[in-house]
Amino acid sequence: MSYTRSSALFAQAEKVIPGGVNSPVRAFKAVGGTPIFIKEAKGAYLTDEDNNEYIDYINSWGPMILGHAYQPVVDAVVEKTKKGTSFGTPTEIETKIAALAVSMVPNIEMIRFVNSGTEACMSAVRLARGYTGKDKIIKFAGCYHGHSDSFLIQAGSGAVTFGAPNSPGVTQGTAKDTLLAVYNDIENVKQIIAANKGEIACVIIEPVAGNMGCIPPKNNFLQQLRELCTDNKILLIFDEVMTGFRLAKGGAQELFNIKADIVCFGKVIGGGLPVGAFAANKEIMSHLAPLGPVYQAGTLSGNPLAMAAGLAMLQELNKDTAIYNRLAEKTEYLHHGIADALNENNITHTINSVGSMISVHFTADEVLNFETSAKGNNDTFKKFFHGMLNQGVYIAPSAFETWFITDALSYADLDKTIRAVHTVAKTL
């Protein structure tokens, strides 16, 4: 494939945009080479500026459950645009999508819209601190909740130590209130809570991790975490920016039958437009301004374009009761096809999948957390990524990102992907 125009565009972008990109993973630093510039997308396919076509397994990092340029979503945005793009005032459509979201997701009664998943998680933690009167939070190594200061924390030297900032600009004062736990290790969480008795406001977690590859909760981990939080009067926050409305209508709460205290949502609730939301019961949400003392605001929060797109998307998901079975079946088909292709070529690997999320790890070990995910052979992944790209299959340009399956994918697309894996595996 030729990437001449993408290369030229990247060179231009580097002159005026830091690193040539507006989000670091897009720069291909983890895989090498020059990023691909996309000019349009439809259904399961992307087309780049050199007119190369790709089967897309990024899907805008999750929200395109129904495929790119899904017509009801496009129509809703176009019609709403004709009436104005933003007012900074209440609109009826905000209430409509709020009511629909509350009806679809278990255990929530009120929802507040924001502009991104980062805002949603940041606001949820602030709300948890305001509600409980406690300062410390627990997050899990490898889980990503946006780039708010509290979340950019790396491991300390031991199981119960404070984290340390892993980005300049994050203060030691912020870091001391963030405690880092090991995903899928309930004993580790118990140690941290015991060492910080009565000081922890909340635990925030991706119920299915998607930012160290796809890693599902194992051995009743979420159930035990829920019990631990209840027993210690700690709020449990599910970051469902990836899993919300994707793994089930009610997200991971529905799939695993776990009740979180606060739930965060991202792009899917805006049909792929910039949007986020956080939700809880009335008692907790009533602590938010203007009802309560916890301040949160945003000029573009609930803007009519994102609300129109999100309402159209959620309406489709709400009425199509078979979609989640279809997505799971396609993911399982792909899982087995990739495994067969890699096994036939004696490529060491582990594949994790849940619902419509899947990832390939080039390690023989079971991948349970960030430490085991990091054991994957990154050189093999780099070759795999570029090989798949040259075969017309676009996966995330990082070994630490999940793939997302869309309903627009046909079985012919899945077979083409599996054939591509066969071809690439011979070169690894």
235-239 and 200-205 strand pairing: parallel
42 catalytic? Reply is no
The CATH label, of 3.40.640.10, 3.40.50.1110, 1.10.10.10, 3.40.50.2300, for the domain at 71-319 is 3.40.640.10
Catalytic residue among 134, 267, 330, 383: 267
Domain boundaries, the chain: 4-69+322-425, 71-319
Catalytic residue among 70, 131, 144, 324: 144
131 catalytic? Reply is no
Which stretch of 114-128, 154-168, 401-415 has the lowest confidence by average pLDDT? 154-168
Specify the residue for token string 């899982």.
335
Is the bond leading into 216 cis (omega within 30 degrees of zero)? Answer: no
Per-residue tokens: 287: 């602590």
Other beta carbons less than 10 A from residue 82's beta carbon: 8
Q: What is the pLDDT of residues 72-110, one digit of tens each?
A: 999 999 999 999 999 999 999 999 999 999 999 999 999
CB 186 within 8 A of CB 221: yes
> Beta partners for 139?
180
Radius of gyration over every alpha carbon of the chain, rounded to an integer in angstroms = 21
CATH of domain 4-69+322-425: 3.90.1150.10
> Angle CA(31)–CA(13)–CA(399) in degrees, nearest 5?
15
d(C-alpha 386, C-alpha 83), whole Å: 44
Catalytic residue among 48, 56, 177, 239: 239
Q: Which of 251, 277, 253, 290 is nearest to 122 (CA)?
A: 277
Q: Over 50: is that where the pLDDT of 157 sits?
A: no
Task: Give the percent of the chain with pLDDT over 90.
Answer: 89
Half-sphere exposure of 45 (CA within 13 A, CB side): 12
413 catalytic? Reply is no
Cα of first residue to Cα of last residue in the chain, in angstroms, is 19
The mean pLDDT value for 251-261 works out to: 97
Packed helices 411-425 and 378-390: angle between N→C axes, nearest 10 degrees:
130
